[in-house]
Amino acid sequence: MERTVAEYIQMCEWDSASLLIFSDNVFGILVYYSHLLPLIVSLIFALFIFFKNPKLLTTRWFLITIILLSIWLFFDLILWATEKPSFTMFFWSIVNMIEPMIYAGMLFFMYAFVDGKSLSFKQKLIVFILLLPTVILAPTNWNLSFYDLTNCWREAIEGPLPYYSYAIELIFTLWIIVFGLHRFFENRNSTEKIKIFLITIGAVFFLLSFAMGNVIGSLLVDWEIGQYGLFGIPIFVAVLSYLIVKYNAFNAKLIATEILISGLWVLTLAVLFLRNIATVRVVVFITLILFTILGYLLIRSVRREVEQREQIEKLAMELQIANNGQTNLMHIINHQIKSYMTKARYIYDALLHDEDYGPISETAKPIVEKGYREMTDAVNFVQNFLTASNIERGTFIYDMQPLDFKNIVTKVFEEHKDIAKEKGLALEIAVEEGDYTMKGDAGQIAQVVKNLIDNSIKYTRTGGIKISLDRKDNKIIFVIKDTGVGISDELKPRLFTKGGVGKDSLRINVNSTGFGLVFVKDVVNAHHGRVSAESAGPNKGSTFYMELPVA
């Protein structure tokens, strides 16, 4: 006579599950330990880094993957504990559907971590097409054929769909490996290569551990073996912890502490569900080894953090002293040295242009004119130096008003025609028709133009300087091309930095410090523009480009 389901359950004496996962039906000695450890630790980790950087694509995909993993682990634990065939069929179907999604989630996570972006539309379409059958056929006999009540196994008989899932899981795993290897070999940055190597190894190890927990158990029909594979999942969490601390991937240096505390709580809780004293000893031994290692790493990290903090505090104190000294120096330069230079410049100017002092002899006039020029250059240098320092310190305030950039350029050009002529240089200008109105600090913009023209004149011995002004779309294009000393490949990266002065420049201008171009770059950046320079090499001239946005 055929028995009913209720009669089978009564005959088999299955225990009723409480809270879905706790029952005597769980015969695997490490089931709770192997499921709860990766579930809780990984979920806490994913939530922690997500709330640290919720807008980061990497954290989003990692959280999605870990949520899918947590659902799989919880539902799988229900399968171990439940005595209800309907529950087994339902949760088993969901578990089979979620498995390949975890592999797909890890693929998306890899792209986000390594490239900082998601898969292309074509790649997403491929993933969608591969996953579609596992979703559509999940509630059909293709997934689970029937529930086996014979011999009290509490087991569903799988159809062909899970084997299809295993195939696409293999495809996703190989995809991750190929992607990781490709990015590893094409990247020339050693730090990036290490990051890619570690994340690829961690992802593959995670998926292999997960595969042992479901695929191998399904193929060998020995689900207890799979429990050992699940212990590898937290190792992937440890790899991510290392990446976060080492490379600041998610800007969460305290993550190792949260994982250590969470892991200790989970491991301690899992011991409560072990009934065999020998198993308890094994679990406690593993826990002791695990936390000895993690504890040592954490203590070493904390010690290093304390040492670095002490060093930072010491450097901060020394920096404060240096800043105070620099502030005093700036005050002296601004109020004393600059004042003396300005007065001396006025004296030279008065001697040259004020008739009350009488005519200057032809013999003395060249010396006075040279003194006037030298003192003018000195005053301009001090002003550039002070302005650049204030900009760098963030204390400079720009007077941003509408201005006509063309008028500034033509005015500065007229002021420098005689200077260029005295050196035997041709100074030309070409201005295209158009509106050159922009918003900026007229005084600082004029000084930028002056600095660039001054430099070209100073560092050009023969030939000339051509200035061009044009407007393209919403940008003002200002170009100065000279036939001067040029720029070496060695100097190019340092050109707009402090001390960015070449040997050829110093031969012509021994007082050159590079502060002029630092000032130029800072002012242009403050006006949301950009400045750059090109040169074919030493003694082959230079071309300076400046772009500024129109109003």
Name the token pair of 59: 């954290």
502: left (phi over 0), alpha (psi -120 to 50) or beta: beta
Q: Provide DSSP, 341-401.
A: HHHHHHHHHHHHH-GGG-PPPTTTHHHHHHHHHHHHHHHHHHHHHHHHHHHHHT------E
What gap in Å lies between CA 494 and CA 206, rounded to an integer?
45
Going by C-alpha positions, the residue among 379, 300, 290, 296 that lies closest to residue 334 is 379
Distances (CA, A) of 238 to 38, 70, 245, 303: 11, 17, 11, 20
Give the integer Cα–Cα distance in Å for 92 and 72. 9
Residue 11 belongs to what H/E stretch?
helix 5-12
Instruction: Go through the chain and tell me how many residues it has.
Output: 551
Q: Give CA 49 to chain center in angstroms.
A: 15
Residue 252's pLDDT is: 47
Q: What pLDDT is attached to residue 16? A: 76
> Rounded to whole angstroms, how far apart are CA atoms 292 and 324?
48
Q: What are phi and psi of 360, to 5 degrees?
A: -95, 140
CA distance linking residue 376 with residue 349, whole number of Å: 10
Q: For residue 275, which of 528, 30, 463 has the smallest C-alpha distance?
A: 30
**Is the Cα torsion angle 93, 97, 98, 102 positive or negative in sign?**
positive
Angle at 301 between CA 296 and CA 307, to 5 degrees: 130
- Which two three-digit tokens encode residue 410? 């033509």
- Residue 388, amino acid: A
CA distance 134 to 103: 13
Encoded tokens for 65:
């993957």
**Distance separating alpha carbons of residues 259 and 97, to the nearest angstrom:** 29
Which residues, other chains included, contact 452 with Cβ-Cβ below 8 Å and sequence gap of 6+?
480, 520, 544, 546
Do residues 446 and 409 touch, judged by C-beta distance below 8 A? no
The distance from CA 244 to its chain's CA centroid, rounded to whole angstroms, is 12
The residues spanned by each domain of the chain are 5-140+156-275, 341-393, 401-549
What stretches of 81-194 adopt beta strand conformation (E)? 144-148, 155-158
pLDDT digit string (tens) for the chain, length 551 residues: 455 555 555 556 667 777 788 777 776 556 777 787 788 878 877 887 788 778 888 888 989 999 999 999 999 888 888 878 788 889 889 999 999 999 999 999 999 888 888 999 999 999 999 999 999 999 899 988 877 666 566 677 888 998 899 999 999 999 999 999 999 998 888 878 888 898 898 889 888 888 876 666 555 555 566 666 677 777 776 676 666 656 655 544 455 555 556 556 666 665 665 555 655 666 666 666 666 766 666 667 667 777 777 787 777 776 666 555 555 555 555 555 666 677 777 777 777 777 677 777 777 777 877 777 777 777 777 766 666 666 666 666 788 899 999 999 999 999 888 888 888 999 999 999 889 999 998 888 988 999 899 889 988 888 999 999 999 888 999 999 999 888 888 888 888 876 555 455 444 444 445 577 888 888 898 899 999 999 988 888 999 999 999 98
Q: Cα(43)–Cα(41) distance, rounded to whole angstroms? A: 6
Cα–Cα separations (whole angstroms), residue 415 to 91, 419, 507: 84, 8, 26
Same fold, 5-140+156-275 and 401-549: no
Q: Which CATH architecture has domain 401-549?
A: 2-Layer Sandwich (3.30)
Q: What angle do CA 447, 453, 457 make, to 5 degrees?
A: 135
- Secondary structure of residue 489 in the 3-state scheme: coil
Q: What is the pLDDT of residue 89?
A: 85
Please tell me the class of the 5-140+156-275 domain: mainly alpha
Q: What number of other Cβ atoms are within 10 A of residue 455's Cβ? A: 23
Counts for the chain of helices (H) and strands (E), in that order? 17, 9
The pLDDT value given to residue 509: 47
Provide the 8-state DSSP code for 483.
-
Pairing of strands 530-534, 426-431: unpaired
Task: With beta carbons less than 8 A apart as the criterion, state whether 469 and 433 touch.
Answer: no
| Beta-bridge partner residues of 18 | 22
Supply the pLDDT for residue 287: 66
What lies within 8 Å, CB to CB, of 414 at 6+ separation is none
Taking CA 4 as the corner, what is the angle to CA 3 and CA 7, rounded to the nearest 5 degrees? 80
What is the DSSP secondary-structure string of 180-227? Answer: HHHHHHH---HHHHHHHHHHHHHHHHHHHHHHHHHHHHHHHT-HHHHH
